[in-house]
Amino acid sequence: MLWSHGHNLNTFQHTERLGKKMVRLFAEHGLQAQVGFASHPGVALLAARQAAPVLVVGAVGMEEVAFLNQLPVQALMPSADLQEVLRLWGVSTLGQLRALPASELVERLGPEVMALIEGTQSRRRRLLKLVRPPSLFLQQMEFEHPVETLEPLLFVIRRMLETLAARLAAVHLMAGEIYLTLGFEDETTHERNFRVPDPSREVDLLFRILHTYLENFTAETPMVLLALEAMPSRAWAHQFQLFESSLRDPNRFSETLARLEALLGDDRVGTPEPLATHRPDAFVMTPCREISSTDQSRRRPKKPTPLEAARQAAADTIRVGLPLRRFRPPERITVMTEKQGPIAILSGQVQGPVTQQRGPWLLSGEWWHDALWAFKEWDVQLEDGGVYRIAEVEKNQWILVGAYG
């Protein structure tokens, strides 16, 4: 710790006692402190680093210049390259460094060396940055009597959200996520994280997200503890078109996503993104991201190159067949086969003899690690006219992949 207390250093004993008191106060909270006093912040910082645990620079027998001159160069924390150059020059103390011509030092070593020297001089003003610990937006309540119904719980949640929203508004932040913790009478806890797709501090919106989840939540024992924590986030900017006839509610879509996630789970709502693999239907769900109307309106359509235009024209002439609707997850089925392939589906939601078939198509990949996969696919038409895709994933192990049309 450092403290610059001006040029009046006549009260050495009082200053030292004050420093020792500060050290004791920090020790009571489990913190170790070193306190330095000087007439300049840069010197006070150096004194704090040398203190054991209190050092007052400027007292009798400890003048500021003498204190600085006897310090090793390493006390200024120079870069490794500069420290090595000074070592080769035989400069080991700050006094030896200050004795060298400043202009020649800057010319040969650059501005870093002058910044180090000026940091110990009173003519340079050193701005101290206040370090503030991150704010914790947390509300917690232990119930005097166990809560068994939803209504009193929702009442408390709304009051907590109002308090959190006011605290967020005071620092111009939004809630990007809400952490809910429920404690029960049997000393178990339940935790759930709710992501707010469009960060907000609107109490009604956040309350509806929690309400959607809690009205479908069942607890085996009464609740005795409730905690809500908001993870702060910056607000997203929304810009509408100038002549939009009716302004849409920017929170409507985000609220719908958030309530669906609360109801179904975070891993079941999102945007499917294909994986870098040849495996059919391989994808991963990522959280939905709303595309603002501003981004869409500002993007001018890119004029295609001649090659791209030719490819698009060729693609437009391709006749597209029946779309395949894949089943997730695929259904296990029993298939009768002969040498030429499947001849009947014997179990599952679709059954019957096979009248036509195409295949097999051999698919495999990722042979270089444990996720190796390989199977055969057929397109089959049953006697009732339905067209399906089936696959043999292992020997005599079949699945119904999907249906056409």
CATH of residue 151's domain is: 3.30.1490.100
256, 283, 305 — which closes off a domain?
256
Shared domain for 106 and 33, answered yes or no, is yes
297 within some domain: no
- Whether residues 109 and 142 share a domain: the answer is no
Its domain, for residue 194, covers 137-237+249-256
Q: Examine the domain organization and report whether 166 and 220 are in the same domain.
A: yes
Together in a domain, 101 and 207: no
Nearest to 160 by CA among 148, 176, 178: 178
Split into its structural domains, the chain has a count of 3
Q: What is the mean pLDDT of the chain?
A: 77
Instruction: Give yes or no: residues 21 and 98 share one domain.
Output: yes
Q: 9 and 101 share a domain?
A: yes
What is the Cα–Cα distance from 130 to 296, expressed in whole angstroms? Answer: 41
State whether 83 and 186 are in the same domain.
no
Residues 200, 130 contacting (CB under 8 angstroms): no
Inside any domain, residue 44? yes
What is the Cα Rg of the chain in Å?
Answer: 36
Give the pLDDT score at 121.
64
**Whether 43 contacts 5, CB under 8 Å:** no
pLDDT the model gives residue 272: 74
Number of CB atoms found within 10 A of residue 264's CB = 11
320 in a domain, yes or no? no
Last residue of a domain, one of 256, 287, 307: 256
Residues 107 and 7 in one domain: yes
Residues 114 and 141 in one domain: no
pLDDT for the residue 180: 93
Joined together, the tokens standing for residue 66 give 């003498």
Within a domain: 110:
yes
Residue 255: which H helix or E strand, with range?
Answer: helix 250-264
Position 127 scores a pLDDT of 59
Which residue ranges of the chain lie beneath pLDDT 70? Answer: 1-12, 59-62, 119-134, 236-255, 266-267, 287-321, 367, 369-372
pLDDT of 45: 81
Whether 365 is in a domain gets the answer yes
Assess whether 331 and 394 both reside in one domain. yes
Residues 17 and 108 in one domain: yes
Distance, CA of 193 to CA of 177 (rounded, Å): 7
Starting from the edge strand earliest in sequence, which strands make up the sheet with 223-233, in order? 137-147, 223-233, 174-184, 189-200
Confidence (pLDDT) at 350: 87
Same domain? For 144 and 105 the reply is no
Do the domain assignments include residue 348? yes
pLDDT at 319: 45
Any domain includes 108: yes
Residue 268 lies in a domain: no
Task: Give the integer Cα–Cα distance in Å for 181 and 186.
Answer: 15
Neighbours of 179 (CB within 10 A): 15
Final residue before a domain boundary, out of 89, 118, 147: 118
Residue 122's pLDDT is 52
Eight-class DSSP state of 358: E
